[in-house]
Structure 1
Amino acid sequence: MQKFQSREGQPVPDVTFRYRENGEWKETNTEQLFKGKTVAVFSLPGAFTPTCSSTHLPRFNELAETFRANGVDDIICLAVNDPFVMESWGKDQGCDNVFLLPDGNGCFTEQMGMLVDKTELNFGKRSWRYSMLVRDGIIEKMFIEEQGADDDPFEVSDADTLLHYLNKDAQAPDLVAMLSREGCPFCHKAKQLLDDAGIAYADIPLPDSIRNRALGAIAKAQTVPQLFVNGKLIGDSEAIAQWVAERKAA
């Protein structure tokens, strides 16, 4: 079984990367990515794969502002995938707060000692899952998944673990979602309130065919909008206005 060694206290590998952005070829290197910066890096087995797409990348993207508030300049997601795949995955995920860096030839990953053979999955060589904090090109801290019965564990390389290494008291942003209906003036007003207050939220427009059943089952309500924060029902447009006002006053 391959043994992974921490590289804490060592410089990141000196590598040049080619990537795609807005359909064009671009190039960067280790110095441009890390010199004079504090960078959160997480590496994963592959774009479009289940855990990477459902949890690993989205959570780093979600916590990006909190990372920045705690001194992180950039967040980099690295995978041994080609530039076209990484560009497409970024668009699919809508992860504007994370730079998806393709290590297509595995040069960076191999020098990190994190290149693994996944030929049994028809993946070829890929990266083991890990995260790290890099200050001015030097690796300060690494969280490397432990090998065991699971061939792709996901226990310590997550965004929250790295964030709490930076600041054990760091507060993650509220998770806000609103059930709405297209063309609803009350929904429009509620969205405007949230936008004006700079509150990020997920808008979930309900189709007419399921709206009443969904509202009843989820919010025990018959009208939209209905706002939820961290799984708790706030309520309709009046309740939303009150919640926003209280948040501003806090």
Structure 2
Amino acid sequence: MIAVGEKIPDVPLTTVDAAGTTESVRSGELFATGRTVLFGVPAAFSPTCSDAHLPGFVAKAGEISGKGVDRIVCTAVNDPFVMGAWAKDQQVHGVVMLADGAALFAKAMGLELDATDFGLGIRSQRYAAVIEDGTLSWIDVEDAPPDHEKTTADVVLSKL
């Protein structure tokens, strides 16, 4: 797993907004400058991700940005169409939705989760992180997929 003080890996990804507009990006470029709050979820539309994790960051986006954060990014191992539909369903604002369709970013970060037993294949672990100019400055990872107590927006706010 990536450690504090290490550079964020550089892999191709796709951003998408609630209108379905997509843009190809590289993680190395997206996170290269400024301060970013990044959180990873196992699956768009899953109960914990939709009922608690993402909504907390959307609700607290203004507070997080007010702490000197340039961008808030949510990543999941889903295609951009699913991420766009989820953003629309959740009325996302203030959070960049990042599709990691082939789990390249999750694997490069060492944060992949084998959810094959649940019919989901390789996914991302649930985590939250702070990135400063492309370097990881803080991270916490949940012990199990339904858990979300260590990676909430409130916890992240306390780390900023």
Call closer, same or farther: CA 1:105–1:9 in 2, change over 3 Å: same
1:114-193 aligned at under 5 Å gives the runs 114-147=111-144, 151-166=145-160
- Matching residue of 1:16: 12
Structure 1 residue 65: Cα displacement:
0.8
- The share of aligned pairs that are identical, in percent, is 37
- The count of aligned residue pairs is 159
Please give the alpha-carbon distance, in whole angstroms, between the structure 1 residues aligned to 2:141 and 2:33: 24
Residue 78 in structure 1 maps to residue 75 in structure 2: yes
Structure 2 residues not aligned, in runs of 5+: none
Amino acid at match of 1:34: F
Query: CA separation in 1, counterparts of 2:94 and 2:14?
Result: 19
State the 1:43 CA deviation: 0.2
Larger relative helix fraction: 1
In structure 2, distance between residues paired with 1:90 and 1:23: 9
**CA separation of 1:6 and 1:13: change in aligned 2, threshold 3 A:** closer
In the alignment, is residue 98 of structure 1 matched against residue 95 of structure 2? yes
TM-score after normalising by structure 2:
0.93
- Whether contact under 8 Å (2:72, 2:95) holds in the other structure is yes
Q: Deviations over 1:195-250 (max 9, x none)?
A: xxxxxxxxxxxxxxxxxxxxxxxxxxxxxxxxxxxxxxxxxxxxxxxxxxxxxxxx
The Cα of 1:24 is off from its aligned counterpart by 4.2
Structure number with the bigger relative contact order (C-alpha 8 A, sep ≥ 6) is 2
Q: Which runs of 4+ in 1 moved over 2 A?
A: 18-25
By how many angstroms is 1:6 displaced? 5.1
Structure 1: how far apart are the matches of 2:52 and 2:69?
A: 20
Tell me whether 1:108 sits opposite 2:105 in the alignment.
yes
Correspondent of 2:46 among 40, 45, 49: 49
Separation in 2 of the partners of 1:132 and 1:102? Answer: 17
